Structure 1
Amino acid sequence: MCLLIFIGTNGETYFNTVALVSCVQNFPKSRGPIVGILKGFAGLSGAILTQIYALIKSPDQASLIFMVAVGPTMVAIALMFIVRPVGGHRQLRLSDQSSFSLIYCVCLVLAAYLMGVMLVEDLVDLNRTIVQILTSILFVLLVLPIGIPLYLTFSSDSRPPEQEALLSKPQNKEQPGSSHDPNEIIFSEVEDEKPADVDLLPASERQKRILQLQSKLAQAAAEGAVRIKRRRGPHRGEDFDLTQALIKADFWLLFWTLLLGSGSGLTVIDNLGQMSESLGYDNTHIFVSMISIWNFLGRVGGGYVSEIVVRDHAYPRPVALAVAQGLMSIGHLFFAMGWPGAMYIGTLLIGLGYGAHWAIIPAAASELFGVKKFGALYNFLTLANPAGSLVFSGLIASYIYDSEAEKQAKERGELIVNSASLLTKLFDTDDALKCTGSICFFLTFMIMSGLCIIALILSLILVRRTKTVYQNLYGKTRA
């Protein structure tokens, strides 16, 4: 089983890497929406496959394993020749905003539909015909986004010639420091010599001042008055490989914010059943379904909101990450207090915040460290996820829960301590210890809340360090 799980989870990583890297390279100017939509559907895929299985289920549960093994493999073989970087476009097309808006609408409808279907199927015993109708509607929602590229392909002939020329015209303004930038050699000098008040100017005036400074430095270098510094590696916003990124503080800030944020979120997901039981809820699976939907909406919403932050305000994308971690900190407090209805509010906040991490951090990493080696960078960052789960859920949460369960068992007279200091249950040695009440997870989620606050502070430090980078990347787009 360990070998099969190892192979299966590594296969999932290949799916994620191929789809994410290809689409980020194809849509470099829409990284937030792209990552949010892809990671959102990855989070929702379990619910989709469950609904498909409900249509073809049989008494033999091996059919589920067979479907999961064969279905994705057939899809991968069929599509592997067309899922690849194809050059993309360097500027935002006129149709991009409306296209992404339509996909966002489909995502919201799909999430609401799946939530409703899961609740209905759980409460009511539906016949096979109704299940077939519900699954058919699901398939229609899934294929709707395919209509966007088909429509744009067939409508391209009807565009006015001047509009077509505008869309196909290469972008003249490259990112500072890119291989096509004629002033690349003096970019580091501009950063060193640039007055502090330049970043406070309007975008158009700021670009004018920077160009003037570049011209002066170029002239001084030509006359020998200024010695051009030798570059010792790429600057932020250019293409890094993994070894170059590992020596950058910004990369480790991203890593630790992901470890603290996603690790605390996984602690909730891993222990959701025990949490709801300890607080007296009977239908624990409802919260599992709810956090899956909120996780999906957090991924889609994180990409959408963070794109507004960078596109409309030219502000660092990690600002949206700090907001998500603030929401998670509040959600952990609700879980710790165990107030009436706290499970519903906490599940909402944790699901949204946890999902937002997976839309914001990959997009931010591609902006700060480039897309050329994005696969290696992204997969190294995802190591933070299992590391956080191992420490926070596997060690901290489980230890505190077991300790509280033992205390309650002693108070009920269910445990004695023998001469070997081993705990032995008096009544039923086969039952595991169970803890009831909010005390079971109080300390755990107070710790998780504190960790999210630390992650929020790290995100704000990253915001401060990368303000200039995002101004260079998106400031002239606003101008």
Structure 2
Amino acid sequence: MVVSMQKKNKMKEFIGHRWVVFVCAIWDMSFAGTSYMFGSISPVIKSSMGYNQQQVAFLSVAKDLGDNVGLLAGKISEVSPTWRVILVGVIQNVFGYGLVWLVVTHRLPSLPLWMLCFFIFLGQNGSTYYNTAALVSCVQSFPESRGPVVGILKGFVGLSGAIWTQIVAMISFPDQASLIFVIAVGPAMVSCALMFIIRPVESYNKQSSRSSEDGSGFMFIYSVCLLLAAYLMGVLMLENMFNLDHNTITLIAIVLIILILLPIIVPIFMVFFTQPQNLDQESLLQPETRTSTSTRVVDGETSASSCLVKEDKAQKQTGLPVTERPGKIVKFQAKLSRVISEAVKKLKQKNGPHRGDDFTLSQALMKADFLIMFFSIVLGCGSGLTMINNMGQICQSLGDNNVNVYISVISISNFLGRVGGGFFSEVIVRNFAYSRLLALAVVQGMMAVGLSYYAMGLVGQVYVVAISTGFGYGAHWSIAIAAASEIFGLKNFGTLYNFLTVASPTGSLFLSGFVASKIYDYYAEQQAKQRVQSLKASLNFTLPYVARNEESLVCEGNICFSLTCIIFAVVCLFAAALSLILVHRTKRFYAQLHVKSLS
């Protein structure tokens, strides 16, 4: 009977353990990043609906907006439990992409382009609810380890595209349209299975956050992350080199699923194979408490006469009996406490919250720290995302047909950037008491170096720019989000996080639409003019140049993106300068945060 009760208590402790919440959030994020699969479903949408490339581009914009505009998810997370946030995401995901699947497979009549854009936006927007629920729950459950938590979660989001690709290859669907159905129901099924486990959980012992078990747990998950990245890279190389049969693909997918499940070992070990230490710590404190209490009792007995003398003096001064005096003192202290608390409250309302307090979105928008952080992300992420989106044209301009290899390199680098950015920024905060945003400035400087390398046209330039932009773009989301939770508080973290995610498409829209595409089209048009002039000279008669459509303009050579890379390198350096300004402004805050973590 006692053994069964102990097992029941252990299972209850296991279900409510914050590491179980974190591991379940990792699993949810591993299947939630469906935006990375749009490149796989866009060809079937284009062929089935008879769209041209410009119309497909509109669908891509709708997908990007849906994946990044999550303010409503943040607002709902502030007033509703986590399972309701996930449920809203599930409904949007299934309804949006489900209708797209029905239209593409002609089970429903064709819809106008704007309606299909809306449904793709609606379906992809469901992922913002999954992200918000997982990040808010885990950051509140691990307030002392925000960098590793955010980095690991965002890293698995970046890997979800590669994970789904292997699972779909194992299942071997009859057509590409079935992939849309998988995007509609796959993440929703995983989220429904975990929706009541993913929630904020307070640690049973505040000092356990600094225990060796937590550090060992994070190191184990980091090891799994590196192993998973190496495994996927090896799988991609094998698939590019050999034509694998279905049995081999199935084995690869099964091993991949096992690697994803490995982090559950951490909470299992902590709950079932580790003795709790909080009771021992309390027993060590009890003798000290008893000693101090007995000392106070002895002191009270030996000094009774002096207390009576003081009370007699007080009675002579105030004219009150001794029995009435304690009640008057309590009332006076309570009134004084109320006055002080009201004064402090009015002062806070007048001056607004300070760094480390809980900010609302409107309060954060009035602070220079938040605006500097936002524009730093706009410039840094905008440059990285624009280069990632144009990787196909970069390879085309250089006559390189290995675009799938470079996309895979970007995916793995993105994953390592998210995980590594969270880890190294945590080292900077914990070990050196520097601002976390120093890591962001370093990453943005690395991106500038990689872009400059491409502009110089050196050997391996595409690999260098793919690794630097992929790593840098991923690191932004682990470093900046963790810093935002520290500087602007956890109460409204969901709303603040979803506002910051808007920075990425904002920067990409500006830098891609007004910089990269304009420069590419200019050089493509100049090359077209040169071809016409050379043809005219060879034929010896006048041939007027007629400007062709933008879709038919093709640029060739390193010149197509070299100037763009130079501009983006300057943009990244400017973003790094903004980050360093924020480092200077938050230097004292992070020093105080480091002192508090040691106390």
If the TM-score is normalised by the length of the shorter chain, which range does it land in?
A: 0.7 to 0.9
User: Structure 1 regions of 5+ residues with no counterpart?
Assistant: 168-223
C-alpha deviation, 1:378, in angstroms: 0.8
Partner of 2:17: none
Separation in 2 of the partners of 1:93 and 1:475? 14
Counterparts in 2 of 1:58 and 1:9: CA distance versus 1, 3 Å: closer
1:68 aligned residue: 183
Query: What does residue 146 of structure 2 align with?
Result: 31
Q: 2:580 aligns with which of 453, 460, 473?
A: 460
Distance 1:118 1:394 in 2: 32
Gaps of 5+ in 2: 1-115, 286-339, 536-543
Counterpart pick for 1:111 among 229, 233, 240: 229
Q: CA deviation at 1:58?
A: 2.7
Aligned to 2:423: 304
Work out whether residues 123 and 184 of structure 2, in 8 Å CA contact, stay in contact via their aligned partners in 1. no
Matched residues in 2 for 1:369 and 1:430: separation? 45
For residues 86 and 409 of structure 1, the distance between their equivalents in structure 2, rounded to whole angstroms, comes to 62
Residue 122 of structure 1 and its aligned partner are, at CA, apart by 2.3
User: 1:352/1:164 Cα in 2 relative to 1: closer, same or farther (>3 Å)?
Assistant: farther
Alignment of 1:78-477 (within 5 A): 78-88=193-203, 90-91=206-207, 92-94=209-211, 95-157=213-275, 161-162=279-280, 230-231=347-348, 232-413=351-532, 423-425=546-548, 432-477=552-597
Q: Distance in 1 between matches of 2:174 and 2:411?
A: 26
Shift of 1:440: 0.4
Higher mean C-alpha deviation, range 7-16 or range 87-96: 87-96
SS in structure 1 opposite 2:199? Answer: coil
**TM-score using structure 1 length:** 0.82
- Give distance in 1, aligned partners of 2:401 and 2:130: 36
Distance in 1 (CA, whole Å) between partners of 2:271 and 2:282 is 12
Contact 2:229 2:412 in 1 (8 A): yes
- Give the Cα separation in 1 of the matches to 2:258 and 2:550: 48
The one-letter amino acid of 1:148's match is V
RMSD, aligned α-carbons:
2.5
Distance of 2:206 and 2:510 partners within structure 1: 42
Aligned residue-pair number = 416
Q: CA deviation at 1:478?
A: 4.2
Measure, in 2, the Cα distance between the counterparts of 1:58 and 1:295: 28
- Residue 420 of structure 2 aligns with an amino acid whose one-letter code is G
What is aligned with 2:127? 12
1:219-241 Cα offsets, whole Å, 9 max, x none, are: xxxxx9xx989232211011111
Aligned partners of 2:283, 2:133: CA distance in 1, in Å? 31
- Aligned mates of 1:431, 1:311 — CA distance in 2: 52
Task: Describe the superposition over 1:280-331 as per-residue Cα deviations: whole angstroms up to 9, x where unpaired.
Answer: 2121111111011001000000000000000111111000000000000011
Separation in 1 of the partners of 2:192 and 2:173?
26
SS of corresponding position for 1:445: helix
Counterpart in the other structure of 1:216: none
Structure 1 residue 395: Cα displacement? 2.7
Q: In 2, Cα distance between the equivalents of 1:424 and 1:161?
A: 80
Query: Which amino acid in the other structure matches residue 466 of structure 1?
Result: T
Which residue does the alignment assign to 1:47?
Answer: 162
C-alpha distance 444-296 of structure 1, shift in aligned 2 (>3 A): same
Q: Give the deviation of 1:23 after TM superposition.
A: 0.5
Larger radius of gyration: 2
- Write the letter of the residue equivalent to 1:147: I
Tell me the TM-score normalized by structure 2: 0.66
Identify, as 1 or 2, the structure richer in helix: 2
1:204 aligns with: none
AA partner of residue 129 (structure 2): Y
Query: Structure 1 pair 472/291, CA: closer, same or farther in 2 (3 Å)?
Result: same
Measured in 1, the distance between the counterparts of 2:140 and 2:254 equals 33
Whole-angstrom CA distance in 1 between matches of 2:388 and 2:521: 18
